[in-house]
Chains A and B, each alone.
Chain A
């Protein structure tokens, strides 16, 4: 019976925490992110900065500094590169969250939505956030060697062109949605 009490107590505590979070958080979230920040910037993507990222992460520079005997400088460069990699990761997340925001607005305006599509998006988001935290911590702790990140950047370049084109197109579509959500109260919108 005491086990039942613990299980039910924990369930109730989680329910009450979620209740408070959803009821308190909704106004702030909508106020700060949907209304005051429309989606005018949705067409931009941080993948556009990939060439600079690739340049910054090239392993040849590090090898040259090591051969030349500038070990202090080399360590500093490695730290800076790690910082850049972390910033790039954060930028990827921004791209991801922006896409999520657009998708939710479109779903909110649509008279019908696909459960499969929405569940797939939820799965992708969960997967992304999980990996993001792992990779971020790994990079921050210096566990991921930079040459591998450099290899990654080579691979990303293949995606960059496709993503850039797709994001540009999405941005144009999002501009239409932006007009719909620019009103302070989305409930009064007539998305005609």
Chain B
């Protein structure tokens, strides 16, 4: 394990231990049934850590093989992370079928656009492609989560504290990774010898903090999924009322417009 500093090894070990603890809490409280993808995400992280330990031990931390395996093995937890966040958002928004229909479109659109935009320019510097892709993924992830939370806030949808902790934790970690990747890149360009250690400590430290919050909040049993009976009358009510309300809003806007452009009143 030469190449990994003692501090990084310690934080890595703590991270794996806390992830295992969160998994235990999920199973003991039965919450894994409500959030199976989230549970799978944490378990995949633990498995990846064990696998990487073996790879680093076998090939050496600085070897190209170990680096390739490490980055490629990231794909599975990243995919499960997307599924986990979709799962939590679905649990929050699913009782509101119309809002959920809008929500998953917002999630997909925001993620696709931000990820695509953040990848622009990465082709010119292939050495940075992985770093830029990872940063773009986390940035897109954070934007999509915040967009969905704004949607829930706008429509006055209550969010259970445990789901708040999960969503907030995912978003906070993604934001930290975005900053850590950027700062790490700058330190590397300036020839700082400790850039890798700083990057690792910041990202892993943030993840450990998020995991600690999750471990505490997930001791509370997650709420039962709400089964709402939707009256067939509510859809026509929306389609009938919505244009009329918009018309009223437009009239109120016009009133203000006369204040703004008083000459129009003559």
Which A residues lie at the B interface, using CB under 8 A?
1-2, 4-5, 8-9, 11-12, 15-16, 18-19, 21-23, 25-27, 29-30, 33-34, 89, 92, 95-96, 99-115, 117-118, 120-121, 124-125, 127-128, 131-132, 134-135, 138-139, 144, 148-149, 151-152, 154-156, 159, 162-163, 166-167, 170, 173, 185-192
Contacts and interface: CB of A to CB of B under 8 A. Distances in A.
A129 to B, nearest CB: 10
B93 to A, nearest CB: 10
Nearest to A8: B182
Contacts of A163: 248, 251
Given A26-B157, A99-B252, A121-B245, 6 more contacts: A12-B179, A18-B149, A110-B97, A110-B237, A117-B242, A152-B262
B158 A26 contact: yes
Please provide the 5 A-B residue pairs with the shortest distance between their CB atoms, ordered closest to farther. Answer: A110-B238, A113-B98, A148-B262, A22-B149, A135-B259
Contact of A19 (B155, B168, B239): B168
Contacts of B254: 159
A130 to B, nearest CB: 9
B158 to A, nearest CB: 5
Which has the most chain A C-beta neighbours within 10 Å: B246, B247, B248, B257? B248
Given A26-B153, A127-B253, A166 B186 contact: no
A112 B244 CA distance: 17
Contacts of A170: 241, 244-245, 248
A159 B251 contact: yes
B142 interface: yes
B241 A173 contact: yes
| Chain A interface SS verdict (over half) | helix
A92 B255 contact: yes
Which has the most chain B C-beta neighbours within 10 Å: A33, A89, A190? A190
Contacts of B127: none
B50 interface: no
A8 B95 CA distance: 35
B185 A1 contact: yes
A110 B226 CA distance: 15
B256 A99 contact: no
Contacts of A134: 260
B36 interface: no
Given A25-B153, A112-B97, A106 B238 contact: yes
Interface in B128-171: 135, 139, 142-143, 145-146, 149-150, 152-159, 164, 167-168, 171
Interface in B213-266: 226, 228-231, 234-235, 237-239, 241-260, 262, 265-266
A155 B226 contact: no
B125 to A, nearest CB: 11
Given A18-B146, A108-B157, A114 B242 contact: yes
Contact of A154 (B102, B159, B257, B265): B265
16 contacts: A4-B182, A92-B255, A103-B245, A105-B156, A111-B98, A113-B102, A125-B249, A127-B253, A128-B253, A131-B260, A134-B260, A170-B245, A170-B248, A186-B156, A190-B228, A191-B228
Given A110-B238, A154-B265, A19 B259 contact: no
Contacts of A105: 156
Contacts of A189: 228
B43 to A, nearest CB: 26
Contacts of B158: 26-27, 30, 185-187
B105 A99 contact: no
Nearest to A6: B182
Contacts of A99: 245, 248-249, 252
Contact of A16 (B172, B231, B253): B172
